[in-house]
């Protein structure tokens, strides 16, 4: 894999995946049902709906919000959210003064227990390379135009700390229930490339 292979004689990746699975399964090293369980877990159970619940609770419960900002890992564990890629969570709050946006330039580290597996845009080399150099331009290209006087803070994950953005609660949502608020919260707002709107 360290040797260059021209793309013309490359094995199609789906075939290559099937070949490796066969080799490991027939020797009893891998159980395809365990593979199915991993896949289903991240397709069905662990995704951005978890993070949206955390955000809605923080918007409606000031004491929870304070715990979330002081000890993100402990606060989300109260709601049952923990697991791989969630060992230590730092939650950062967006306001009209400061806008936070998260990246992992070195791979694509992402807070799995709250957001599931990362979307394509987060893994895109253009996002990984450029958001640490020209975040305002990148956010503009992705459809988020921030006021000129809003400060931008970019968080680049290097260690096993995982960063999570608490978006701003949209105006005119005072009467919304926690569940109604959670339904407004998008994955992209919890990484900081979008804002929540009502």
Does the CA dihedral 107-111-116-119 come out positive or negative?
negative
Residue 59 tokens read as 């918007």
Exposure of 51 by Cβ count < 10 A (0-12 exposed, 13-18 middle, 19+ buried)? Answer: buried
Q: Is 111 in the site for another protein (CB under 8 A)?
A: no
Helix (H) or strand (E) holding 151: strand 151-156
Q: Give the Å distances, CA to CA, from 149 to 52, 96, 165.
A: 27, 9, 19
Q: How far is the CB of 10 from another protein (least distance, A)?
A: 8
Q: How far is the CB of 54 from another protein (least distance, A)?
A: 19
Residue pair 191/138 in contact by the 8 Å Cβ criterion: no
Site string for another protein, 50-89 (x = CB under 8 A): -------------------------------------xx-
Piece in contact with another protein (CB under 8 A), picked from 52-60, 62-70, 169-177, 187-195: 187-195
Is 107 a known active-site residue?
yes
Is 129 a known active-site residue?
no
> Which residue lies nearer to another protein by CB, 121 or 177?
121
Could you tell me how many residues of this chain bind another protein (CB under 8 A)?
A: 80
Residues numbered 156 to 175 that lie near another protein (CB under 8 A) are: 156-161
What does DSSP assign to residue 170? P
């Amino acid at each position: 894999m360290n040797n260059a292979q021209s793309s013309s004689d490359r094995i199609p990746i789906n075939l290559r995946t099937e070949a490796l699975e066969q080799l490991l399964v027939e020797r009893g090293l891998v159980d395809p049902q365990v593979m199915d369980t991993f896949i289903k877990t991240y397709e069905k159970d662990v995704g951005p709906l978890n993070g949206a619940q955390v955000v809605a609770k923080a918007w409606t419960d000031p004491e929870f919000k304070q715990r979330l900002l002081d000890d993100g890992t402990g606060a989300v564990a109260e709601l049952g959210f923990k697991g791989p890629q969630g060992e230590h969570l730092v939650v950062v709050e967006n306001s009209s003064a400061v806008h936070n946006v998260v990246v992992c330039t070195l791979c694509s580290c992402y807070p799995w227990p709250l957001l599931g597996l990362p979307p394509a845009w987060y893994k895109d080399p253009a996002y990984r390379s450029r958001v640490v150099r020209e975040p305002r331009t990148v956010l503009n290209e992705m459809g988020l135009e921030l006021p000129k006087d809003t400060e931008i803070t970019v968080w680049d994950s290097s260690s096993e700390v995982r960063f999570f953005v608490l978006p701003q609660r949209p105006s005119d949502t005072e009467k919304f229930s926690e569940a109604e608020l959670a339904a407004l919260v998008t994955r992209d707002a919890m990484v900081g490339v979008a804002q929540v709107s009502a």
